[in-house]
Every structure is written in C-alpha cells, then in structure tokens.
Amino acid sequence: MSAVTRAKRLSTPQIRDRKGQQPIVCLTAYTTQMARWLDPHVDLLLVGDSLGMVVYGFDSTLPVTLDMMIAHGAAVMRGAERACVIVDLPFGSYQASPEQAFRAAARVMAETGCSGVKLEGGAEMAETIRFLAQRGIPVCGHVGLMPQSVNVAGGFKATGRSEAEAQKVAQDAATVADAGAFAVVLEGTVEPVAAAITSSLKVPTIGIGASPACDGQILVAEDVFGLFSDFTPRFVKRYANLGVEISAAAEAYAREVRSRTFPTLDHCFRARPDKDRSA
C-alpha cells in the first residue's frame, strides 16, 4: 500500500517571499468545514476576529475573546492542510504591553497549531511586533482602517484621503514592516496610497478595500459567497449567492414537513424481521 502524500503547509517565510510575485490568495475561515472547502484554493486562511460579527452577531469585533479565537483557530487547523493559517489577536489581549501580547500569542500558537498571529496597529505596536518576532512568533501587521479602533475612528471609514492620513498610514506600514512583520494587511486605504505603500515595502501587502497593486487580497468568505443578504461592502465582489439558496432550501424543507411529504419510508429505518429461533 502506497503512503498518502500530503501537501506541505505554506509557511510565513514562504508568504513573505511572495513579495512582488504571484498574488497571495487569502480568505477568512472560522470553522473546520469552511477551511476544508477553501484550503485547496487559497494560500492563507485568516481566522479573523470578524467572527464576532459573522458568527456571533455582534455589532463590532470588540466583544471577541481570546478563548473564542483559540477555539475557532483550532477548528480551522483541523480542516486546513496546506494553507498558512493566521489567527487574530482580539481587542484587549495585546495592547497593554509586549509581555501581555506574548502571553496571548503563545497561547494561540500552542493551543491551535497555527502559523502565526495578526494584530492591529501602526507605529505604536512596533515594539510589540519586534518583541514577538524575536521570540519566535510570526506576526502579520494590520494598518489603515482598523476595526478594533472603530470607536476612536468614529466608525468604519476609509483612510488616506487627506495628506496627513496618507502619511500616517504609510508611516505605520513601514514601521510595522521594519519591526519584523512578515506581511501587512492594508484595510480601507484609498487606492493610490495603498499602491504606493505596496511599492515601498519589502514585505507583502494584503489588501482589503485597498488596491489591485497589493501583493495579495483578502475578503470575508461569507461576503464572497453571499451568505449575508442585507449588506455588501463596496470592496466585495460576490462570486455566489448561497444565502438565497439556503433560504430556498429551508423553505422547501419546511413545506414538505408540514405537508407530510418528508420524510417518506425511504428516509426511515425499517424493522428487521426476528430470526427464526426454532432452528
């Protein structure tokens, strides 16, 4: 019997080395089954704290806990074999100090088996990123629109429209990269600014609502597949409309149950005749 050969998981150095090469394909995943579906097609799966809104129905990412991220990170790792899996550090788990960030990141790495963590913040997080990277924890940075700072920013708004904003996000991206991040997510950053940042950095940029020039792209999988019917962000392209199909299937199921056309005997276990005990 020949042994089954499994694809080797992409590493963070391999992601970093894709700078200026073939675009890096990234999507979010929060469950084992979604990871299994996406794994053959993507380079990186992000277990994002966006699960707070997508899975739990929160209004923002702020209520997400470290335990939640670890549980979902472990679930994704059970479903992904080749994609590089990165797990978000949630709000409040890393901002206080580099030491706090290390404790949180070490738990995530040890309890999920993921390849690295992502954290939000620019120049103010450089010391923390350097602290983690020097201690063996790969870090993906995240600048521009930062959902964990939604209250300070006054909502989910694009950045880089003014000269001051453009300089700030560019400086943040450069500082994060210099501190040791293997890649930087650019979210909600106006296109010319995101393109210029991508050109200037030595590590890959991963865009979401940023620029086609970024070294990679990421979207929330549920947005891509049409599992949210009430709102589609401007930067999302839907490749399916599964929410409508799920609703239609549920309607058909409910109709058949109420009309007693499901289940039929074909969907039931039949009683087996007793064996002849006289033999």
211 labelled ligand-binding: no
Q: Which of 81, 111, 163, 187 is catalytic?
A: 187
Query: Would you state the structure tokens that stand for residue 102, as one six-digit string?
Result: 């290390």
Does the annotation list 118 as a binding residue?
Answer: yes
- The reply to whether 266 sits in an annotated binding site is no
Q: Is 111 a catalytic residue?
A: no
Task: State how far Cα 190 lies from the chain centre.
Answer: 21
Token pair listed for 29: 């995943």
Q: Are 211 and 187 in contact (CB under 8 A)?
A: no
Is 120 annotated as contributing to ligand binding? yes
End-to-end alpha-carbon separation of the chain, Å?
43
The response to whether 49 counts as a known ligand-binding position is yes
Where are the strands (E) in 35-82, listed by range? 44-47
DSSP-based three-state secondary structure for 163: helix
Residues forming a β-bridge with 186:
143, 207
Phi/psi of residue 141, nearest 5 degrees: -80, 170
To the nearest 10°, report the CA torsion of 198, 138, 77, 188. -30
Per the annotation, where are the binding residues for 3-methyl-2-oxobutanoate?
Answer: 49-50, 88, 118
Per the annotation, where are the binding residues for Mg(2+)?
Answer: 49, 88, 120
Residues noted as catalytic: 187
Per the annotation, where are the binding residues?
Answer: 49-50, 88, 118, 120
